[in-house]
A = this chain, B = another copy of it.
């Protein structure tokens, strides 16, 4: 195993001290231009790069952010991570991606590892079973800011960046009203999830207020398969009427679309279809599904800004809600 060049080697070759080399490399004002040039030249030549372990041991800082998500196979997280990485690169930080598999135990291990590595900050979408917020709050004691995104805890005073559930539901409901559709089947996710509540309530409220005559039926499904079953069993009573199906998430949409295809129905003729989505699944169908977008990349930008504030010393906890926008396919 060949050894990487070190400050010492450069110093020896140039017959100067290690301190001088170290300073020259970071453009310390004390160093003479002459020395600075020589050192930097040789460093370049030898492809010198500081040993991050030594630097960290000395400085206690890592210039690394951690992003922790329950799952990777998710377009929303993917675009969130992309935007964090892009921003981070601009600031000279790198990004490590961790996957909790939606398991609070693994999540805790990751947290521990982040602490030991003294990452500069953590972006995290918590698991649906995370109860112990304590350990996250403790990170602050260690000087590691935590920004929650998407899946965030109930707890008030922490930094949270969320998708605008209400706004997305509002947009979808408005679109239904605009299209003058009298009957709506709303398919929502698990009742216990906070996003379900937020989306359901707003959706209902808008339809009741602005579309008084609309007949709304809502159901809940905890998985894609369940959404398929429910849709399948309910569709018969709607066929023939002018109606729309609203799916509150990609998971639900995937299941419901299968039922709709199975019944041989197609949008927008036989029914309208509209969803809240991160924008991947809607594009797989023809016509593309109309959806209110929950944008991971915008959330990423917002989260990163907040992180940089925290690092700069802001201790003020804040909840930021990102607005949604309607992307028209041809399904309604």
Contacts and interface: CB of A to CB of B under 8 A. Distances in A.
Nearest to A228: B286
For the complex of A and B, the 7 pairs showing the least CB-CB separation, nearest first, are: A1-B143, A73-B78, A261-B286, A262-B286, A97-B97, A53-B56, A258-B286
Contacts of A312: none
A206 to B, nearest CB: 29
Contact of A53 (B53, B73, B82, B258): B53
A257 B284 contact: yes
24 contacts: A1-B142, A2-B142, A4-B115, A4-B142, A49-B112, A49-B116, A51-B57, A52-B117, A53-B56, A53-B118, A57-B57, A71-B78, A72-B73, A72-B77, A72-B81, A73-B75, A73-B280, A81-B99, A82-B101, A96-B97, A97-B97, A254-B283, A261-B266, A281-B284
A116 B53 CA distance: 9
A287 B283 CA distance: 18
B141 A2 contact: yes
Contacts of A257: 284
Contacts of A32: none
Contacts of A77: 72
A105 to B, nearest CB: 11
A113 B94 contact: yes
A28 B54 CA distance: 26
B285 A116 contact: no
A75 B254 CA distance: 15
Contact of A57 (B54, B115, B264, B284): B54
A259 interface: yes
A188 to B, nearest CB: 20
A85 interface: yes
A99 B97 contact: yes
B57 A53 contact: yes
Contacts of A283: 254
Contacts of A98: 97
A54 B259 CA distance: 57
Nearest to A284: B254
Contacts of A143: 1
Contacts of A96: 96-97
Contact of A284 (B112, B116, B284): B284
Given A82-B99, A97-B97, 17 more contacts: A1-B141, A1-B142, A1-B143, A4-B142, A50-B116, A53-B56, A72-B73, A73-B74, A73-B78, A73-B79, A94-B113, A96-B97, A97-B99, A254-B284, A257-B284, A261-B266, A262-B287
